[in-house]
Amino acid sequence: MGKNVFKISAARIAASSLFLLFVLYVIVWLLPPGTLNKLASRFIEAPVLTAAAIIAYTAAFVLRAAAWKWFIPVKGLSLRIYVNGLLYSLFLNHVLPIKAGDAVRAGYLAYKSNGAASWLRSLQSVAVLRILDMLFLGAVASIGSLYIGAKLYTGLWQLFAGVILLLVCGLLIVSNKRETLQNFFYPVRSLFTSKRGSLIFLFTMMSWMLESFVLYFTAVILRQELSFLAAWWTTSVTIAGQVFHFSPGGVGTYEAVMTGALRTLQVPMQTAFETAVASHAFKFVYSFGAGLYLALAAPVSIVMLKKWLEKERA
């Protein structure tokens, strides 16, 4: 069985690598000659704006870490541990062909808590906060689409939110009879009934607003006109479209969705595409910088990482 899992993983990695190379080739082919050098030089020539984008993106992860810490507090664990867990997730999602970073994020918290937070409990917390992320992103995408009258709006986000809400309500009812589910959904109920839950909601919303500054500052650096509200909506639509991806960091999907969203805002096609490529490249560079920081300041063995990934598959 272990060999079969290995073969499937190897085939998936090979297919994803070929797909990544194809997407990168298409992106480079679509860009006019010298565009990549021009985009990179614009960031270098605007160190203050580039630093502002880095600070905003980092602050977004700090707020998500604070929300995670409030949701699953572990005595003696500093906020930095939660930040590191998020950065591991970010880095691996930009390296691996599938979104496996959340499993490592949960494993890292369980490992650092010395058993105070089990791997399952940590994974459950990550799943709940991911759902919360998607609800916020879906809400912003829907409201923005309604406001601008975009064809992008089809009611699917409301359907998604409604299904999640019905699922949660149904499981809450069942949880009264099943202890395991009850233990899982008690923290979920606390999101809606406690002051701590209100802070988690607030910090989650603020974190996505801060991440939107990456696109906003990218547009400013590239000397393009894009309001912050437009950047917030575009970011929400783009990230919500990254639920599944088949290449590291969602290369291809990210550019396609963001370009489409910007075109909806009447941004010219070439400008929209260059902005999407530049903002995604920024996030890739940031994720590799995060990986370097983790290797130096919070290293975890490859064996441990594989163990957490295998747990997630199981």
- 4 found inside a domain: no
Which DSSP string do the residues of 217-240 spell out, in sequence order?
Answer: HHHHHTT----HHHHHHHHHHHHH
CA distance 119 to 191: 21
The pLDDT assigned to 308 comes to 81
The pLDDT assigned to 1 comes to 41
- 10 found inside a domain: no
The pLDDT assigned to 143 comes to 86
Which DSSP string do the residues of 75-97 spell out, in sequence order?
Answer: TT--HHHHHHHHHHHHHHHTTSS
- 2 found inside a domain: no
Which among 258, 275, 286, 264 is positioned nearest to 223, based on CA atoms? Answer: 275
- 203 found inside a domain: yes
* pTM greater than 0.75 (yes/no): yes
CA distance 129 to 17: 30
Domains of the chain: total: 1
- 11 found inside a domain: no
pLDDT in tens, the chain (314 residues): 444 433 445 555 556 556 556 555 556 656 667 777 888 899 999 999 999 999 999 999 999 999 999 999 999 899 999 999 999 999 998 887 777 788 899 999 999 998 888 888 898 889 889 888 988 998 898 888 887 765 544 445 555 555 555 555 555 554 444 555 555 566 666 676 677 888 999 999 999 999 999 999 999 999 999 999 999 999 999 998 776 666 777 778 898 899 999 999 999 999 999 999 999 999 999 999 999 999 999 999 888 888 887 765 55
- CA dist 289 → 46, 60, 204, 258, 293 (Å): 19, 16, 23, 23, 6
- 28 found inside a domain: no
- 298 found inside a domain: yes
Domain that includes residue 166, residue range: 35-313
- 178 found inside a domain: yes
